[in-house]
Structure 1
Amino acid sequence: MGVLENKARARLFYKYLSKVYDRVNPFIWNEEMRDEALTFLDIQQGDRVLDVGCGTGFGTEGLLQYTDDVHGLDQSVHQMEKAFRKFGKHDQVRFYRGDAERLPFADDSFDTIWSSGSIEYWPNPVDALVEFRRVVKPGNKVLVVGPDYPKSSVFQKLADAIMLFYDEEEADRMFREAGFVDIEHHIQQRKPGSPRAITTVARAPDE
């Protein structure tokens, strides 16, 4: 387990990262990548969408282009304070402080679940994905963006020491173990040589 796959350390990390997150993020996960990922879903106006690990609201902002019923959850109050400044606490978006592995929502609560830049910090990603399947409506989709596993053995060792990096095979395993079907992966990259994101879209089984 990487050093940041510990919730207390991750919260401390984001306390300081939140100060510069919106300036650093575009070098790894920019608007073009986010907007491309949004096209992998079929969000309709009025759909109730949950953004897990919403952070400062970068993904949330994209979701609001599709529906005005967006809910954001994060464990870092420092990250969410940035989001509050953008959207208000109870205006455009309803925010919750919570844990991806124990979502504070009833079964079948959402039409879609989105999560970008969060899975790499989850100590038990399959547990969180099981929660996603529980709160998304049967037959509907979830989308998760995480860091693609590096090709270089040197960077692999560094990645393993910090947080979760994974490839398509590992993504398949996690999503299938959590009970999802129709799993597909998209590799996204800002430019050649920059970090690669693995964006997985999967469907909760029909009842």
Structure 2
Amino acid sequence: MGFLENKARARLFYRYFSELYDTINPFIWNEEMRDQALEWFGIEEGDVVLDVGCGTGFATEGLLQHTDEVHGLDQSDGQLSKAFAKFGKTEQVKFYRGDAERLPFKDDTFDALWSSGSIEYWPNPVDALEEFRRVVKPGGPVLVVGPDYPESTVFQKLADAIMLFYDAEEADRMFTAAGYEEFEHHIQQRKPGTPKAITTVARVPGGEDEAAAEEADAEVDSDVGDDAIEA
């Protein structure tokens, strides 16, 4: 487990890093990457969206271009104070201090959930992904952005010592273990030579498509049954 995969240490880190976050972040995760991820996310006007690990509100700003009801959650007071300064007074976003692994919301509260730049600090990622599935309505999208595992052996050792870095195979394992059946991964990069992000878009089981498929299967079974009776 990496040094920052500890909630107390991560909070302490962001108490100071929040002052520099908006300056450094565009060199790693910029508007173009965010907007591409928003296209994959596919939310619509009127959707109620939860932004987990909202930080200073960079992703929140993008989400507000698509819907007017966004809820932001973060464990860092420093990050939340920056986000609240941007959006809190306009009542565009409701903010909560909370833990991704124990979300303070009822089942099926949100239409969609976004989390960028947060999974790398979770001690138990599968627990958080299960929580995401719990609070999002069946059929809703869950998008998670994390740091892609480096190819260099030297950087792999450094990455493992700091926080969670993972590849598509590990993402498959985590999302499957958390109960997702439908998901896809995208690798994003600001430009060659810069850090890569792995963006996963998953679908909470039990939506309209699944219900339609079950209905179609039932009709097929019924037809087969009728033919058997007639024979």
TM-score (norm 2): 0.88
Name the structure 1 match of 2:111.
111
Q: How many residues are paired up?
A: 207
* RMSD (Å) for aligned C-alpha atoms: 0.9
CA displacement at 1:142 relative to structure 2 = 0.2
Name the structure 1 match of 2:5.
5
CA displacement at 1:90 relative to structure 2 = 6.6
- Is 1:92 the counterpart of 2:92? The answer is yes
SS at match of 2:192: coil
CA displacement at 1:42 relative to structure 2 = 1.7
Q: 1:110-130: per-residue Cα shift (whole Å, max 9, x none)?
A: 000000000000000000000
CA displacement at 1:37 relative to structure 2 = 0.3
CA displacement at 1:88 relative to structure 2 = 1.5
Q: 1:122-144: per-residue Cα shift (whole Å, max 9, x none)?
A: 00000000000000001111000
SS at match of 2:145: strand
Name the structure 1 match of 2:60.
60
Corresponding letter in the other structure for 2:104: P
Corresponding letter in the other structure for 1:25: N
How many angstroms apart in 1 are the aligned matches of 2:206 and 2:82?
37
Deviates more, 1:40-49 or 1:161-170: 40-49
- Is 1:164 the counterpart of 2:131? The answer is no
Q: Deviating runs (4+, > 3 A) in structure 1?
A: none
How many angstroms apart in 2 are the aligned matches of 1:117 and 1:48?
20
Corresponding letter in the other structure for 2:31: E
Name the structure 1 match of 2:213.
none
SS at match of 1:96: strand
Name the structure 1 match of 2:181.
181
How many angstroms apart in 2 are the aligned matches of 1:103 and 1:203?
19
Residues 89, 95 of structure 1: 8 Å contact kept: no
Name the structure 1 match of 2:195.
195
Specify every segment of 5 or more residues in structure 2 that has no aligned partner in the other structure, as ranges. 208-231
CA displacement at 1:41 relative to structure 2 = 1.6
Query: Whose radius of gyration is greater, 1 or 2?
Result: 2
- Is 1:46 the counterpart of 2:55? The answer is no
CA displacement at 1:89 relative to structure 2 = 5.2
Name the structure 1 match of 2:145.
145
How many angstroms apart in 2 are the aligned matches of 1:20 and 1:99?
23
SS at match of 1:88: helix
Specify every segment of 5 or more residues in structure 1 that has no aligned partner in the other structure, as ranges. none
SS at match of 1:150: coil
Change over 3 Å in CA distance of 1:100–1:90 after alignment to 2: farther
How many angstroms apart in 1 are the aligned matches of 2:172 and 2:101?
19
Task: State, as a whole percentage, how many aligned pairs show the same letter.
Answer: 77
